[in-house]
């Protein structure tokens, strides 16, 4: 069954992406499979074989569950699009805080200073480009979310640079892909529509979550490093 889970996740993700471009009742394929894919990824983390770091797994499971809730909020009808976007943003922000909690297992927060400086610079450049397209009521929430996302990605990379374990490698690549996914989403929403946006946004998003979930299976009790 464990070998079938990645295939089920991939099939569900494809249906979510294809359904995003559908019309009428076929759009419900997207509505159904977008959060379902995230929940299937949650199962991947939940069923990770022992030995695992229990604190790490709990934090990752909570982060993925909050991501599924964010998926639902972002799909709310047009009449509540702004509220749905803010609720979704809030859900993902809290999810990143739980991922950040997991990623401080065995490694001090921002132990390598140049990493958050690098990703912070990238985030600042993107935010400067997107800023004119942001409604005034969205600027502060997007700024706070960007800072949280940059913190999570930075810590994931730092953890890998210090530990060099399979778990930290999965999480680091997952963090970078999460940053890439949200960057594409932001440009598509606030700057200019992108061709095949659902493919790029959801494809990188699901891959990021899957890698973070896989990091649970490879986790261990690392020695504390600074």
Task: Look at residue 223 and tell me if it is in a domain.
Answer: no
Task: Look at residue 105 and tell me if it is in a domain.
Answer: yes
Q: Tens digits of per-residue pLDDT, 31-63?
A: 999 999 999 999 999 999 877 999 999 999 999
Beta strands in 47-117 (DSSP E): none
Mean pLDDT of 86-111: 97
Task: Look at residue 139 and tell me if it is in a domain.
Answer: yes
Task: Look at residue 222 and tell me if it is in a domain.
Answer: no
What predicted TM-score, i.e. pTM, was given to this entire model? 0.93
Q: How many domains, the chain?
A: 1
Beta carbons of 225 and 107 less than 8 angstroms apart: yes
| Other Cβ atoms within 10 Å of 28 Cβ, number | 11
Give the distance from CA 65 to its chain's centroid.
11
Task: Look at residue 224 and tell me if it is in a domain.
Answer: no
Task: Look at residue 26 and tell me if it is in a domain.
Answer: yes
Task: Look at residue 225 and tell me if it is in a domain.
Answer: no
Question: Which residue segment(s) compose the domain that 42 sits in?
Answer: 4-217
């Amino acid at each position: 069954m464990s070998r079938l889970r990645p295939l089920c996740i991939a099939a569900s993700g494809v249906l979510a992406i294809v359904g995003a471009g559908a019309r009428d009742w076929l759009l419900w394929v997207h509505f159904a499979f977008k959060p379902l894919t995230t929940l299937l990824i949650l199962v991947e983390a939940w069923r990770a074989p022992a030995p695992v770091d229990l604190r790490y797994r709990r934090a990752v499971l909570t982060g993925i569950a909050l991501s599924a809730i964010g998926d639902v909020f972002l799909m709310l009808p047009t009449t509540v699009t702004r509220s749905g976007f803010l609720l979704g943003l809030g859900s993902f922000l809290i999810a990143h805080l739980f991922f950040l909690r997991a990623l401080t297992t065995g490694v001090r927060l921002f132990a390598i200073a140049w990493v958050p400086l690098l990703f912070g610079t990238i985030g600042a450049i993107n935010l400067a480009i997107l800023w004119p397209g942001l409604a005034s009521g969205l600027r502060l929430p997007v700024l706070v979310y960007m800072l949280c996302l940059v913190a999570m990605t930075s810590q994931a990379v730092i953890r890998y640079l210090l530990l060099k374990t399979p778990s930290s490698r999965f999480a680091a690549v997952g963090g970078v892909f999460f940053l890439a996914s949200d960057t594409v989403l932001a440009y598509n929403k606030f700057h200019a529509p992108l061709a095949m946006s659902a493919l790029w946004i959801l494809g990188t998003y699901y891959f990021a979550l899957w890698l973070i979930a896989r990091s649970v299976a490879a986790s261990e009790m690392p020695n504390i490093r600074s």
